[in-house]
């Protein structure tokens, strides 16, 4: 059950500085908020560095200061289980779903939070909406980063922000 990000502070990632800055802007720019929780999808095929990029952003000093609460959850399962995700988010096991929901809402209520869902594959929109509903008690400027290879996942989870498509590095950058 991986719930941590593992890019070490000061680690240099070649060729993704522009992408990092764009993702930071999407997370920190609250002027364009039309919803209290916006979803930033990072989409690209395997091996492009989606997770590493998200880890760099997650650990950025500006992000540390901007968000009251930061949570990293590695989903990495085609079986999108809302209960399991909620348990991972609040690090609680063996309680009822109602208590999990209440606890999650209390933890994020009145806070600007950043939640990263890494390696999301499930394309069931109803399950996503069920989870999203639980996450709406954060204040304006809260963000969810979804890391996925699937444009279908990006489409069903997006809010007003378009998916961030991570491209290949140029030969001189790789």
Q: List pLDDT tens digits, range 61-90.
A: 999 999 988 888 888 766 678 888 887 776
Measured CA to CA, the distance from residue 71 to residue 15 in angstroms comes to 26
Q: Residue 147: which of 65, 56, 36 has the closest Cα? A: 56
SS3 sequence, the chain?
CCCCCCCCCCCCCCCCHHHHHHHHHHHHCCCCCCCCEEEEEEECCCCCCHHHHHHHHHCCHHHHHHCCEEEEEEEEECCCCHHHHHHHHHCCCCCCHHHHHHHHHHHHCCCCEEEEEEEECCCCHHHHHHHHHHCCCCCCCEEEEEEECCHHHHHHHCCCCCCEECCCCCCCCC
pLDDT, residue 156, reads: 93
pLDDT, residue 160, reads: 79
pLDDT, residue 12, reads: 61
pLDDT, residue 57, reads: 94
- Higher-scoring residue by pLDDT: 19, 77: 19
Whole-number CA gyration radius for the chain: 16
For the ranges 32-41, 51-60, 121-130, the lowest mean pLDDT is seen at 32-41
Torsion over CA: 109, 112, 118, 121 (sign): positive
For residue 5, pLDDT over 70 is answered with: no
What are the structure tokens assigned to 105, written together? 């809402």
pLDDT, residue 62, reads: 95
Average pLDDT over residues 157-173: 83
> What would the pLDDT profile of 144-156 be if each residue is shown by its tens digit?
999 999 999 999 9
Q: Give how far Cα 38 sits from Cα of 51, 74, 79, 138, 159, Å.
A: 19, 19, 23, 11, 6
What are the φ/ψ torsions at residue 27 (nearest 5 degrees)? -75, -40
Give the chain's domains with CATH numbers.
34-165 (3.40.50.300)
Measured CA to CA, the distance from residue 118 to residue 115 in angstroms comes to 10
pLDDT, residue 90, reads: 67
> What would the pLDDT profile of 112-143 be if each residue is shown by its tens digit?
999 999 999 889 999 999 899 889 888 888 99
């Amino acid at each position: 059950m991986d719930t941590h990000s593992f890019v070490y502070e000061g680690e240099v990632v070649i060729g993704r500085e522009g992408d990092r800055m764009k993702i930071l802007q999407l997370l920190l720019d609250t002027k364009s908020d039309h919803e209290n929780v916006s979803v930033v999808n990072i989409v690209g095929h395997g091996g492009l560095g989606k997770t590493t990029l998200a880890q760099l952003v997650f650990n950025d000093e500006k992000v540390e200061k901007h968000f009251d609460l930061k949570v990293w959850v590695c989903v990495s399962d085609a079986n999108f289980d809302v209960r399991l995700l909620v348990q991972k988010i609040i690090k609680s096991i063996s309680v009822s779903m109602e208590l999990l929901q209440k606890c999650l809402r209390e933890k994020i209520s009145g806070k600007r939070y950043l939640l990263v869902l890494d390696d999301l594959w499930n394309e069931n929109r109803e399950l996503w909406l069920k989870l999203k509903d639980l996450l709406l008690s954060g204040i304006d400027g809260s963000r969810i980063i979804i890391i996925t290879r699937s444009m279908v996942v990006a489409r069903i989870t997006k809010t007003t922000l378009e998916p961030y498509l991570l491209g290949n590095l140029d030969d001189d950058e790789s």
